[in-house]
Chain A
Amino acid sequence: MLQRKNIAAAGPEKYTQEFIKKQIEEFNIGKRHLANMMGEDPETFTQEGIDRAIAYLFPSGLFEKRARPVMKHPDEIFPKQRAVQWGEDGRPFHFLFYTGKQSYYSLMHDTFGKFLDIQKYQDHMRAEGLFSQDTKQVNLIGSRWMIKEELEEILVQPISDHDYVRFIQLLERILALPYCSREEEYIQRFRRTLEVQSKKQKIEPLQYDENKVAFSTGEGRRKTATATATVRDNGSGKITVNGVDYLHYFPVLQDREQLMFPFQFLDRLGKHDMECKVTGGGRSAQAGAIRLATARALLSFVTENEVESMRQAGLLTPDPRVKERQKPGQEGARRKFTWNKR
């Protein structure tokens, strides 16, 4: 009886080294062709240029960005795979191959080696009498340890949570030693910088109108409602929405509380006047849209620390919730039809 090939058990398709090399050559040639087609210089054709060219030549109406046609370097497309790790005679190259997790254990081995180096240097300094506690410390602010997925990517090998935790603990132990700055470079390889979120906010500069009064505009959106708000300085707390006083436009207390939130947070309740225009959405959506627009407008009047605190309070985050689509076979987005036994 023929043995059927169990395709699933064989694992993911393995790409050979020559295959990858060939793909890289083809990619480079294709890049030059594309540059010629688009009329740009082949030598200085960047990845952004490639993306633009592909989007122009193959326009796609798909919503999922990952389903659109893409042309990238083969290293980014094909997953990294371990090269064959044993020679012709069947003997493995690496001495830790038979542990099963060779790259992880070799990493731990190297790191512990560094740890012992630092300890040896420390003993050396102590012997010479030059030991001091206040040496240069590694700068850890603004960066974080690599996450498990990134570590797996580097080692090209799956790791368990326990292993990852042990690795991080070892690095922390190294950092606890006084002379850790000797291996700073090695440690920085495992840290990633945190992006400072608030720098991404665009703060419009203050504008001044005829009477030398400072004002600023902001826009906001929430669930089909769009609002534009103009906040003026030297005011008395009057708010006009679409030409109508806010007490009449929002008879419900909850909406007025939403309007009040940005001013109250910055302690500027009676100091500004505001006029805004809002369209679309319902009562609550319009209130939320105006709140976002006011918060953005107030950014120009406010210091950086307050911008950061506003961001953490959630005043500057647009609410991503929209109405969920109705699915066929169901009455609403989640509600199913009444279940009948027969």
Chain B
Amino acid sequence: MESPRAVFRTSEWDPANHGDQHVGQFYTIPPSQVKTVFPHGLPHRFQQQIKTFNEACVMVRKPALELIGYLKKADPAHPSVRYVLYGERGTGKSLSLCHALHHCSLQDWLILHIPDAHLWVKNCKELMPSSYHRARFDQPIESSVWLKNFRVTNERFLKQIKTSQKYVWSKREFTDEGRPLGEIVDQGVARVKNASDAVGVVLKELKAQARPGSYRLVVGVDGVNALWGQTTLRKEDRSLIDPSELTLVHNLRKMMKNDWCGGAVIATVTQTGSVFTPSSAYLPQELLGKEGFDALDPFLPVSVPAYSEKEFESCYQYYRDRRWIQHHRGHTEEGKKELLFLSSSNPAALERICAFL
């Protein structure tokens, strides 16, 4: 039952039931699910907003609904379809991705969520030559952090899935065939040196075992253009590292190929956080480059536009309801027009402006 005051909210918390009539309305993700599904997935500013408002409210928008529709209709027997969300900076690609992943988690899929692939290609403090492959480099910190979050999200599956071959970590440690995948994850978390290889193993296993009969796998990558772009990391002789020389990136690229079935790959291409790209680029072709485009081709592009009038209205009402807009002029009609003009209906810009009102 919706009270007339809260026209912009909907009590429907299951994304599977969201339809066109819910476009522009906010739905709340129950706090328990926030912790399990999105330990690291949400954008930083949104996490701050959750802490301030004490609730995680996401707006239902057309691109996310489109994605969820495709996911519902997708046939598990076919090879996995790749969806690419693209749009200008701050239009809500990451949040749409999270919306779709929330839906997948409620449908009991296995979620492989990489919150920001750009974090893996820049600002790495420790780079080690890989033990498995001499030419490649490892990133122990990022890998272990990611494994911990992965464990939180998919506890259930880690006990179900079994390894298909034996993996030797070092002279004394190895994992037998047939052990639950959780052991590999624990191994990676415990032995930070082998964390990147553990990630590689996990990805390989999941891909190999994602058949129509068993679980369904969804891979959500934010900032997939980082995998084919350039890195800011250097080797000891001060030469730039190619992304393919990083273990994590190499394994992730294998996941992006569509030679497995029973799942989907949702990716966003974003300029925020990417290195060496001009700020005006937002189309997939520009951001992925030739290599990336060929690797991801064919894919389904989904464009994420700025707020429509209705969406802007509902976002404004939401901020007012949460007492976020304190300025007396913000409550007037002219104030609303001013906000519309200044933010040009861009969600991120609106959020930043209202932050100090």
Is A bound to B? yes
Residues on A close to B: CB < 8 A?
237, 239, 244-248, 253, 256-257, 260, 263-264, 267, 269-270
Shortest distance from the beta carbon of A100 to any chain B beta carbon, whole Å: 62
B344 touches A263 (CB 8 A): no
Shortest distance from the beta carbon of A148 to any chain B beta carbon, whole Å: 46
* The one of B280, B337, B340, B353 that contacts A248, using a Cβ cutoff of 8 Å: B280
* The one of A244, A245, A257, A270 that contacts B342, using a Cβ cutoff of 8 Å: A257
B46 located at the interface, meaning its Cβ lies under 8 Å from any Cβ of chain A in the complex: no
Q: Which residues of B contact A260 (CB under 8 A)?
A: 338, 341-342
Q: Which residues of B contact A263 (CB under 8 A)?
A: 341
User: Which residues in chain B, 244-282, are within 8 Å of chain A measured between CB atoms?
Assistant: 279-280
19 A-B pairs in the complex with CB atoms less than 8 angstroms apart: A237-B341, A239-B344, A246-B344, A247-B343, A247-B344, A247-B349, A248-B279, A248-B280, A253-B353, A256-B341, A256-B342, A257-B342, A263-B341, A264-B337, A264-B341, A269-B334, A269-B340, A269-B341, A270-B341
B88 located at the interface, meaning its Cβ lies under 8 Å from any Cβ of chain A in the complex: yes
The residue in A247, A269, A270 that gathers the most chain B C-beta atoms within 10 A of its C-beta is A247
B346 touches A247 (CB 8 A): yes
A269 touches B344 (CB 8 A): no
Contact flag A237-B349 (CB < 8 Å), given A248-B88, A248-B279: no
Shortest distance from the beta carbon of B188 to any chain A beta carbon, whole Å: 40
Q: Which residues of B contact A244 (CB under 8 A)?
A: 280
Q: Which residue of B lies closest to A259 (CB)?
A: B341
Q: A253-B353, A270-B341 provided; 20 other pairs, C-beta below 8 A?
A: A237-B341, A239-B344, A247-B343, A247-B346, A247-B349, A248-B88, A248-B279, A248-B280, A253-B342, A256-B341, A256-B344, A257-B342, A260-B338, A260-B342, A263-B341, A264-B338, A267-B334, A269-B334, A269-B340, A269-B341
Contact flag A237-B340 (CB < 8 Å), given A247-B349, A248-B88: yes
B338 touches A269 (CB 8 A): yes
Q: Which residue of A lies closest to B342 (CB)?
A: A256
Cα–Cα distance between A253 and B351 once the two chains are bound (Å):
12
Q: Which residues of A contact B279 (CB under 8 A)?
A: 248
Shortest distance from the beta carbon of B318 to any chain A beta carbon, whole Å: 21
Q: Which residue of A lies closest to B345 (CB)?
A: A247
Shortest distance from the beta carbon of A290 to any chain B beta carbon, whole Å: 14
Shortest distance from the beta carbon of A253 to any chain B beta carbon, whole Å: 7
Q: Which residues of B contact A246 (CB under 8 A)?
A: 344
Shortest distance from the beta carbon of A258 to any chain B beta carbon, whole Å: 11
Cα–Cα distance between A129 and B275 once the two chains are bound (Å):
97
Q: Which residues of A contact B343 (CB under 8 A)?
A: 247
Q: Which residue of A lies closest to B89 (CB)?
A: A248
Cα–Cα distance between A267 and B337 once the two chains are bound (Å):
10
* Total residue contacts A-B, CB cutoff 8 A: 36
* B interface bracket (residues with beta carbon within 8 Å of A): 10 to 19
User: Which residues in chain B, 61-82, are within 8 Å of chain A measured between CB atoms?
Assistant: none
Quick one: CB contact mask for B283-311 with A, threshold 8 Å, 1 for yes?
A: 00000000000000000000000000000
A270 touches B340 (CB 8 A): yes
Shortest distance from the beta carbon of A68 to any chain B beta carbon, whole Å: 49
Contact flag A264-B334 (CB < 8 Å), given A237-B340, A248-B279, A270-B340: yes
Shortest distance from the beta carbon of A221 to any chain B beta carbon, whole Å: 24
* The one of B280, B337, B346, B349 that contacts A270, using a Cβ cutoff of 8 Å: B337
Q: Which 4 A-B pairs have the closest CB atoms?
A: A247-B344, A269-B337, A260-B341, A256-B342
Cα–Cα distance between A237 and B306 once the two chains are bound (Å):
14
Shortest distance from the beta carbon of A251 to any chain B beta carbon, whole Å: 8
Cα–Cα distance between A206 and B238 once the two chains are bound (Å):
63
Q: Which residues of B contact A256 (CB under 8 A)?
A: 341-342, 344
Q: Which residues of B contact A247 (CB under 8 A)?
A: 343-344, 346, 349
Cα–Cα distance between A288 and B252 once the two chains are bound (Å):
48
Cα–Cα distance between A246 and B343 once the two chains are bound (Å):
10
Q: Which residue of A lies closest to B279 (CB)?
A: A248
Q: Which residues of B contact A248 (CB under 8 A)?
A: 88, 279-280
User: Which residues in chain B, 308-357, are within 8 Å of chain A measured between CB atoms?
Assistant: 334, 337-338, 340-344, 346, 349, 353
Shortest distance from the beta carbon of B243 to any chain A beta carbon, whole Å: 27
Cα–Cα distance between A270 and B340 once the two chains are bound (Å):
9
Q: Which residue of A lies closest to B348 (CB)?
A: A247
Q: Which residues of A contact B280 (CB under 8 A)?
A: 244, 248
Q: Which residues of B contact A257 (CB under 8 A)?
A: 342
A245 touches B337 (CB 8 A): no
Cα–Cα distance between A283 and B349 once the two chains are bound (Å):
19
Shortest distance from the beta carbon of A245 to any chain B beta carbon, whole Å: 7
Q: Which residues of A contact B344 (CB under 8 A)?
A: 239, 245-247, 256
Shortest distance from the beta carbon of B178 to any chain A beta carbon, whole Å: 55
Cα–Cα distance between A279 and B342 once the two chains are bound (Å):
22
Cα–Cα distance between A264 and B332 once the two chains are bound (Å):
14
Q: Which residues of B contact A269 (CB under 8 A)?
A: 334, 337-338, 340-341
Q: Which residues of A contact B342 (CB under 8 A)?
A: 253, 256-257, 260
Q: Which residue of B lies closest to A269 (CB)?
A: B337
Cα–Cα distance between A43 and B236 once the two chains are bound (Å):
92
Q: Which residue of A lies closest to B344 (CB)?
A: A247
Shortest distance from the beta carbon of B281 to any chain A beta carbon, whole Å: 11
Cα–Cα distance between A260 and B338 once the two chains are bound (Å):
8
Cα–Cα distance between A139 and B353 once the two chains are bound (Å):
53
Cα–Cα distance between A263 and B341 once the two chains are bound (Å):
10
Q: Which residues of A contact B88 (CB under 8 A)?
A: 248
Q: Which residue of B lies closest to A238 (CB)?
A: B344
Shortest distance from the beta carbon of A257 to any chain B beta carbon, whole Å: 7
Q: Which residue of B lies closest to A257 (CB)?
A: B342
Cα–Cα distance between A247 and B350 once the two chains are bound (Å):
11
Cα–Cα distance between A164 and B349 once the two chains are bound (Å):
60
Shortest distance from the beta carbon of A247 to any chain B beta carbon, whole Å: 4
Cα–Cα distance between A13 and B342 once the two chains are bound (Å):
65
Cα–Cα distance between A253 and B339 once the two chains are bound (Å):
11
Q: Which residues of B contact A270 (CB under 8 A)?
A: 337, 340-341
Shortest distance from the beta carbon of B344 to any chain A beta carbon, whole Å: 4
Cα–Cα distance between A258 and B344 once the two chains are bound (Å):
14
Shortest distance from the beta carbon of A250 to any chain B beta carbon, whole Å: 10
Q: Which residues of A contact B353 (CB under 8 A)?
A: 253
The residue in B334, B344, B353 that gathers the most chain A C-beta atoms within 10 A of its C-beta is B344
Cα–Cα distance between A208 and B337 once the two chains are bound (Å):
27
Shortest distance from the beta carbon of A273 to any chain B beta carbon, whole Å: 12
